[in-house]
Amino acid sequence: MDQTEARLRALMLAGLAGDAAAHRALLSELGRLLRRYYARRLGFGTPEAEDLVQETLIAVHTRRATYDPQQPFTAWAYAIARYKMIDHLRRAKVRPSSPLEEADGLFTDGGAEDLVVKRDLDRVLAQVSARTGALIRDVKVEGLSTREAAQKHGLTETAVKVAVHRGLKALTARFGGADENR
């Protein structure tokens, strides 16, 4: 995922300097990511989703000078994609908060927004030991069963349960207030 950030950012910087081929490559790749992002929220193959892909690509193009090279590119692109999504829902007179929250729960694989989420997750899991971090990731993020994780790490199931529980407790104490069973 850092590779995606690095690749897209390099394309963006080249495009900002006037490299048309890099800019085209960037828009094509973003188009694919955006198609998946909007399809997941508005339904696959709906005309609205494709309209939003185009609208967002135009926004990325015309507002490209607002990208700050000091900041992650994926966060910038995601902020635009999300803004266009909310704007669409508002125009469509759908109450934006609840459908968006449901849709945000659908992050499972890939997508520009995922890069941002994963970056934060890496940062959070760096707070506990490497093994506990790996166990939490396997059980709570990747969705392995306790038994599968135990086999993968050569531990007993009880040891996995205890490590995950303690790890989450430590993280909850560290970051405060979050519902640990989510």
Partner 1 sequence: MKTDELIDRLSADLEPAPPWWVTRRVLIGLGSGAFFSALLMVVWLGVRPDLMDAMTGAMFWMKFAYTLACSAVLAAALIRVARPGGSVRSLAWALAAPFGLVGLMAAVRLAGADAAARQAMLMGDSADVCPWRIVILSLPILAGAVWALRGLAPTRLVLSGLVAGGCAGAMGAWIYAFHCNESAAAFIAIWYTAGMAAVAVLGALVGRRLLRW
Residues that bind partner 1 (CB under 8 A): 15-21, 23-24, 27-28, 31, 50, 53-54, 57-59, 61, 63-68, 71, 75-80, 82-83, 87
Q: How far is the CB of 58 from partner 1 (least distance, A)?
A: 7
Residue 54 or 158 with smaller CB distance to partner 1: 54
CA end-to-end span of the chain: 24
Comparing CB distances to partner 1, the nearer of 17 and 130 is 17
| CA dist 135 → 6, 76, 159, 170 (Å) | 27, 31, 10, 14
Q: In the complex, what is the shortest distance from the CB of residue 175 to partner 1, in angstroms, rounded to a whole number?
A: 16
At its nearest, how many Å lie between partner 1 and the CB of residue 47? 12
In eight-state DSSP terms, residue 71 is S
Q: Is 123 exposed, middle or buried (0-12, 13-18, 19+ CB in 10 A)?
A: exposed
Q: 145 in helix, strand or coil?
A: coil
Per DSSP, 65 falls in state: G
Residues with Cβ < 8 Å from 167, sequence gap 6 or more?
Answer: 128, 129, 132, 133, 135, 136
Cβ 75 to partner 1, closest distance in Å?
Answer: 5
Give whichever of 37 and 67 is closer to partner 1, judged by the CB atom.
Answer: 67
Q: Is the CB of 1 or the CB of 59 nearer to partner 1?
A: 59
